[in-house]
Chains A and B, each alone.
Chain A
Amino acid sequence: MVSTDFSYRLWRHDGTPGELIPLLQSAQEHFGYIPRRAIRYISEVTKTPESKIYGVITFYSQFRLQPMGKNVIRLCTGTACHVANSGVLLDTLQDELGVEVGGTTEDGVFTLFSVACIGCCSLAPVMMVNDDTQGKLTPARTRKIVRKIRRQTLASERQAQATSDAETAPAAD
């Protein structure tokens, strides 16, 4: 299987046409978004102007120029979910998180996206939180799920913080 690792891909690039999008995809996988320096690297190896790369990035909805939150929520707004009232869920999520679609919460815990159909129409309305699909949502259930994940994320962060503190000062338990 061909490695999708970003630096490997950059290194082995041999001028094959059509490699720009796969390179951007592996950059995004590596960094979580496409930073300025990745655009510079890609421009150098593919001999493509940065302006053109920027044009490709902004054309496709998959690519991000900003870092994302620790959890990514993708609310389905496809036809079946729309008929099942996903619009209310979008309002609920925007209200609960305090961000618009495409935005990241101030604490960096969530990024909210809407997507057109994730193909789980019989479970509508659905959202994907990272790789988990949650189906048959209501506003109340949606809030519960989001709050639970926020608690878990913050708790694990605190724990990681505590561990690193404990390492530096073992007596201060």
Chain B
Amino acid sequence: MRKILVGMSTCGMSAGAKDTYAKLESLLPEDSPHELTITGCIGMCFREPLVEIREGGTRTIYGDVDPKRAEEIFEKHIQGGREIPEYVIYKVEDDKPVGGQELAFLAGQERIVLRNCGLINPESIEDYEDRGGYQATRKAIEEMAPEQIIEEMKTSGLRGRGGAGFPTGLKWSFAAGYSGEAKYVVCNADEGDPGAFMDRSVLEGDPHAVLEGMIICARAIGGTHGYIYCRAEYPLAIHRLQLAIEAARERGYLGRNIMGTDFDFDISIKQGAGAFVCGEETALFASIEGERGMPRIRPPFPAESGVFGQPTNNNNVETYANVPWIINNGGQAYRSYGTEKSPGTKVFALAGKIAKGGLAEVPMGMTIEEILFGIGGGIKDGREFKAVQMGGPSGGCIPAELKHTPVDFENIPKTGAIMGSGGMVVMDDTTCMVDMARFFLTFTQEESCGKCTFCRIGTLRMLEILERITRGEGQPGDVEALTELGGRIKEASLCGLGQTAPNPVLSTIRYYMDEFKAHIEDHSCPAGNCPALVDFIIDPQKCTGCSICAKNCPVDAISGTLKHPFVIDTEACVQCGKCITSCSFDAIFKTGKKVAAR
């Protein structure tokens, strides 16, 4: 009997996994001895859709499986038992990776959080239990006192994976120290950083691991009810969580008298309604309470007064997913990964101009270069590595010169970026850093809740300056004004959003002053990106001479003869971009002015 697993998480489905699944389902006769099922994301987004054939201890993973390829795999491998080596991207025998085209991507990883992702059917609690699921809960309830659980968490040295890196064991001990009518265990699943999707993959691929982490936390701190605050933009994650909660209730892991003890605990899901600031814990609590999601002053800290004014512990998805592993294997075992001050592993979402975009879980302390080039396969299309953005709108850009920086809670902040939740967006030489700074500020400016004046108005003023610079209307003194405003906003904002909003701008000023100068003084964009500062050019190879661009040009700067390549008069062009968006053949592109002159 062969087990066929199709990777069905959001990334897989958007690459066409539904069609692949439907194809295999239609091919498989009803009385077939083989079993077709689904699984979560294994992290190789760049080769989706993925199909795995499992037979005994051998797992063969095929990449880029469209329905046509699925048919071939069905005939040759599933029915014929013959592997198709040219499609195999990863092969495992008895838990040891043995080959496949993408061996390097997975071989360098240590999977603790993602231990079950891509291996089990996330909609089946039996699959999870077969992989040792809920044993940690049993151990925590039957063999450990609450203080012992907290001690074990302290030993592990696990630090919050949401970005701030606060020691989890310590946080739990605070919450354990307060009492109230109720005590809440909150899971922050409001993954809002653009460019980060690891929490989504965990929720979609291994929802029970998160539930288990929350149950153990509740046991340790005396929690009475749990909330998972999940983005409404993640419908599949919410669906799978809902299924997982129901299954856990049926099995007696949630509800009253858990495992025959007097321990009662249940979890409900709260859907976020779209506000980035709700990633900040006090704003998240306000949102759970049904209010506008605006942060409040601390102290009192959540451990004393959180949701509905009751003691509350809040961790993010990845943090909770680590907990069952730590309880099962011990805090010391967890410490054997990573560095002294940042123990364990971290999941990173690799995106942007990287050859192999996806999810990678690596021990803390690996260098940026090892992650991007060793695992991520380097830069897309063989271009030049310029920078990596970490920490989303709260973080900063780390330039290529610093690629030997170890990725952990000590070294990343020294570069001006932050660990953040783990998004790594890679930029190559075609990315304009001034434009990136403007991009992040557009985001934070829109998402500012408006409570603190500096965050509300200061970010807008900074954005106006940056917009002016990218239009080629920069003035002397602009950079100084940005730096000053940035410093003030950081000082005078209440929550993490405002305190970090200027980071992307300040870090780009720090490393890419020459690009700011080029925009302000020379009115040019070295990366050839900012529309007002570049030339528009028609690729004669792609142009069919259809004349659509010429008809759309508001200043008649495009001319030519029908059925022959057209040309743009760069002197007359006003860089409105109409021609690019109207071309049916993607034949028009932007180029830096210097390149054009050559």
Q: Which residues on A are within 8 Å of B, measured CB to CB? A: 1, 17-22, 24-25, 55-56, 59-63, 77-80, 82-84, 88, 91-92, 95, 115-124, 126, 132-133, 135, 138-140, 143
**Chain B: which residue is nearest A89 at the CB level?**
B581
- What is the distance, in angstroms, from A50's C-beta to the closest C-beta of chain B? 15
* 20 further interface pairs, Cβ-Cβ under 8 Å (given A18-B270, A62-B274): A55-B292, A56-B290, A59-B292, A59-B294, A61-B274, A62-B273, A80-B351, A83-B353, A83-B436, A88-B577, A91-B577, A95-B581, A95-B582, A118-B10, A120-B10, A121-B197, A122-B48, A122-B351, A123-B15, A140-B586
- CB pair B351 A59 closer than 8 Å: no
**Chain A: which residue is nearest B285 at the CB level?**
A18
- CB pair B273 A121 closer than 8 Å: no
Most buried by A among B197, B289, B423: B197
- CB pair A17 B290 closer than 8 Å: yes
Q: A79-B194, A119-B234, A138-B586 are in contact. Are A59 and B275 (CB under 8 A)?
A: yes
- CB pair A119 B288 closer than 8 Å: no
Q: What residues of chain A lie closer than 8 Å to B274, measured between beta carbons?
A: 60-63
**Chain A: which residue is nearest B13 at the CB level?**
A133
Q: What residues of chain B lie closer than 8 Å to A88, measured between beta carbons?
A: 577, 580-581
Within 8 A of A (CB), among B239-295: 242, 246, 270-276, 287-294
- What is the distance, in angstroms, from A93's C-beta to the closest C-beta of chain B? 9
Picked from A18, A24, A135, the residue with its CB within 8 Å of the CB of B273 is A24
- CB pair A80 B352 closer than 8 Å: yes
What are 8 A-B contacts with C-beta separation under 8 Å? A21-B271, A60-B275, A83-B436, A84-B352, A117-B196, A119-B197, A122-B357, A123-B14
Q: What residues of chain B lie closer than 8 Å to A84, measured between beta carbons?
A: 352
- CB pair A92 B234 closer than 8 Å: no
Picked from A78, A92, A124, the residue with its CB within 8 Å of the CB of B581 is A92
- What is the distance, in angstroms, from A55's C-beta to the closest C-beta of chain B? 6
Picked from B276, B389, B586, the residue with its CB within 8 Å of the CB of A79 is B389
**Chain B: which residue is nearest A124 at the CB level?**
B351
B427 within 8 A of A: yes
Interface string of B420-432 (1 = CB under 8 A from A): 0001010100010
**Chain B: which residue is nearest A115 at the CB level?**
B233
Q: What residues of chain B lie closer than 8 Å to A24, measured between beta carbons?
A: 273
Picked from A62, A82, A121, the residue with its CB within 8 Å of the CB of B232 is A62
- CB pair A56 B357 closer than 8 Å: no
- CB pair A91 B195 closer than 8 Å: no
- CB pair A79 B423 closer than 8 Å: yes
- CB pair A80 B194 closer than 8 Å: yes
B200 within 8 A of A: yes
**Chain A: which residue is nearest B45 at the CB level?**
A122
- What is the distance, in angstroms, from A43's C-beta to the closest C-beta of chain B? 13
Q: What residues of chain B lie closer than 8 Å to A17, measured between beta carbons?
A: 289-290, 308
- In the complex, A83 Cα to B45 Cα: how many Å? 18
B406 within 8 A of A: no
Q: What residues of chain B lie closer than 8 Å to A18, measured between beta carbons?
A: 270, 288-290, 308
Q: What residues of chain A lie closer than 8 Å to B357, measured between beta carbons?
A: 80, 121-122
How many contacts between A and B, using CB within 8 angstroms?
Answer: 148
Within 8 A of A (CB), among B1-32: 10-11, 13-15
- In the complex, A78 Cα to B10 Cα: how many Å? 16
Sorted nearest first, the 10 A-B pairs with minimum C-beta distance are: A78-B194, A133-B14, A122-B357, A121-B351, A20-B290, A60-B273, A119-B197, A61-B274, A122-B45, A117-B194
Q: What residues of chain A lie closer than 8 Å to B15, measured between beta carbons?
A: 123, 135
Picked from B290, B436, B581, the residue with its CB within 8 Å of the CB of A91 is B581
**Chain B: which residue is nearest A131 at the CB level?**
B235
Q: What residues of chain B lie closer than 8 Å to A121, measured between beta carbons?
A: 45, 195, 197, 349, 351-352, 357, 425
- In the complex, A22 Cα to B271 Cα: how many Å? 7
Interface string of B353-367 (1 = CB under 8 A from A): 100011000000000
Q: What residues of chain B lie closer than 8 Å to A25, measured between beta carbons?
A: 232, 271, 273
Q: What residues of chain A lie closer than 8 Å to B592, measured between beta carbons?
A: none
**Chain A: which residue is nearest B198 at the CB level?**
A119
- In the complex, A2 Cα to B232 Cα: how many Å? 17
B392 within 8 A of A: yes
- In the complex, A83 Cα to B432 Cα: how many Å? 9
- CB pair A83 B427 closer than 8 Å: yes
Q: What residues of chain A lie closer than 8 Å to B425, measured between beta carbons?
A: 79-80, 83, 121
Q: What residues of chain A lie closer than 8 Å to B196, measured between beta carbons?
A: 117
Q: What residues of chain A lie closer than 8 Å to B427, measured between beta carbons?
A: 83
- In the complex, A124 Cα to B15 Cα: how many Å? 11
Q: What residues of chain A lie closer than 8 Å to B193, measured between beta carbons?
A: 117
- CB pair A119 B389 closer than 8 Å: no
- In the complex, A135 Cα to B353 Cα: how many Å? 15
- In the complex, A138 Cα to B582 Cα: how many Å? 11
B578 within 8 A of A: yes
**Chain B: which residue is nearest A120 at the CB level?**
B14
Most buried by B among A18, A19, A77, A95: A18
**Chain B: which residue is nearest A116 at the CB level?**
B194
B443 within 8 A of A: yes
Q: What residues of chain A lie closer than 8 Å to B351, measured between beta carbons?
A: 79-80, 121-122, 124
Q: What residues of chain A lie closer than 8 Å to B577, measured between beta carbons?
A: 88, 91
Q: What residues of chain A lie closer than 8 Å to B270, measured between beta carbons?
A: 18, 21-22
Within 8 A of A (CB), among B147-205: 191-197, 200
Q: What residues of chain A lie closer than 8 Å to B294, measured between beta carbons?
A: 59
- CB pair B13 A60 closer than 8 Å: no
- CB pair B11 A60 closer than 8 Å: no
Q: What residues of chain A lie closer than 8 Å to B292, measured between beta carbons?
A: 55-56, 59
- CB pair A116 B443 closer than 8 Å: yes
- CB pair B582 A123 closer than 8 Å: no
- What is the distance, in angstroms, from A168's C-beta to the closest C-beta of chain B? 39
Most buried by A among B232, B351, B425, B584: B351
Q: What residues of chain B lie closer than 8 Å to A78, measured between beta carbons?
A: 194-195
- What is the distance, in angstroms, from A73's C-beta to the closest C-beta of chain B? 15
- In the complex, A132 Cα to B75 Cα: how many Å? 29
- What is the distance, in angstroms, from A137's C-beta to the closest C-beta of chain B? 10
- CB pair B246 A1 closer than 8 Å: yes
**Chain A: which residue is nearest B447 at the CB level?**
A116
B87 within 8 A of A: no
Q: A19-B290, A62-B273, A121-B197 are in contact. Are A83 and B581 (CB under 8 A)?
A: no
Interface string of B557-598 (1 = CB under 8 A from A): 000000000000000000001101111111000000000000
Most buried by B among A55, A92, A120, A140: A120
- In the complex, A92 Cα to B578 Cα: how many Å? 8
